[in-house]
Amino acid sequence: MVNRERMVGEFMELVKIDSLTRCERKMADTLKSKLEGMGLTVFEDDAGARIGGNAGNLICTVKGSRDTDPILLMAHMDTAVPGTGKNPVIQGNYIRSDGTTILGGDDLAGVECILEALRVLKEDGIEHGDIQAVFTIAEEGGLFGAKNMDYSKIYAKYGFVMDSGGSIGTVAVRAPAQNKIDVVVKGKAAHAGIEPERGVSAVQIMSEAVANMRLGRVDEETTANIGVISGGQATNIICDRVEVKAEARSRDRAKLDRQTEHMKQCFEKAAEKYGGAVEFESELCYPEFNIREEDEIVSILKRAAQDAGVELVLEATGGGSDTNIINGRGIQAVDLSIGMDKVHTVEEQINIDDLTKSAEFLVAIIKAV
Ligand code: ZN
Ligand code: CA
């Protein structure tokens, strides 16, 4: 049975460990010793060395006695900022930070949920198939741990990522791919008062391009945003260079390509009109995933929800997570809510009932495979 006291105690312990992105060493060592304490073997890959971090992804394969499809349980070890010196406090049914940092429930509640589920399997002698528990590094800011993971060690067929918000039973089954877009708009400098005719304003090119662009929610599964604009030196100089950082997302790859091309054309047309130039670079950050209602992983979730008395809510998210990366690696995966709330703010909190419920749901999932 899921043990509430044990979960709260261990969650508080984990949250107090500083574990910023690329600085997960202490967290990795703590988790390793906990898993080894359960009699499990932990493999640490070399992703940390490859991305300039001090710890790798942890992969812990738990052999099962049942011949069912192997599954992946996943949570990330790093936390967002401000996240050093975290001091969690229990207030009634909630665990919160002391208001000076984030809490770190994103994603240490996911980590705790997996640890508790593994313990419960053993204690209660629950029959299960092979389970691969994976704790990634550097999810925040780029999914770098999942992107650089040693996939030769992974043979799971289905993935359950514990890293989402909402009521327990909320599961993200669809998420967009994202293109990261970097643009340099080039004009020509000239004195703005004496000979403006000789200049080409990169600001004007950029402005016209952006004004003509479809942005925001482009359609039901596509979004786009201009996030950062920088450039210019002084009011008396025609600006000759503007840098733009933007993104486009869609659950449909063809639509993503179309939106990206549209943004490129807006810049190019404006540059041509004013006699400037554009360097437009687009890079796929992560692929989309679209789990269908008839997929086996949904049947597993349905059986588990019924068993755990959880209301299953299958939804689409606009965000990206490690779930996108492992789907891209051929492991059909979904992202489950662990009840984390107001993440990436100093008001972050988690409801203790949700924390325990998420572990009960995860145990039910393992049974339902
Ligand atoms: Zn997260
Ligand atoms: Ca996050």
> Has 139 been annotated as catalytic?
yes
Please report, for residues 71, 124, 342, the alpha-carbon distance to residue 67 in angstroms, rounded to integers and kept in the order given. Answer: 12, 19, 40
Kindly name the residue from 10, 24, 44, 78 that is annotated as catalytic: 78
Ligand index nearest the alpha carbon of residue 76:
1
Å from CA of 122 to ligand 1 middle: 27
Give the separation between CA 70 and CA 85, rounded to whole angstroms: 38
Å from CA of 106 to ligand 1 middle: 5
- Which pLDDT value is given to residue 334? 98
Q: At what angle do helices 253-274 and 202-211 cross, to 10 degrees?
A: 140
- Which pLDDT value is given to residue 191? 98
- Which pLDDT value is given to residue 153? 97
**Model confidence, pTM:** 0.94
Kindly name the residue from 45, 130, 139, 348 that is annotated as catalytic: 139
Residue by residue, what is the 3-state secondary structure of 306-361? HHHCCCCEEEECCCCCHHHHHHHCCCEEEEEEEEEECCCCCCCEEEHHHHHHHHHH
> Has 279 been annotated as catalytic?
no
- Which pLDDT value is given to residue 10? 98
What residue ranges of the chain have pLDDT lower than 70? none
Nearest to 343, CA basis, from 56, 101, 54? 101
Please report, for residues 211, 214, 249, 288, the alpha-carbon distance to residue 219 in angstroms, rounded to integers and kept in the order given. Answer: 18, 10, 11, 16
Å from CA of 96 to ligand 1 middle: 17
Pairing of strands 71-76, 158-165: parallel
Pairing of strands 222-231, 241-250: antiparallel
- Which pLDDT value is given to residue 97? 95
Could you tell me the domains of the chain? 4-175+288-368 (3.40.630.10), 177-286 (3.30.70.360)
Mind listing the pLDDT tens digit for each residue in 322-343? Answer: 999 999 999 999 999 999 999 9
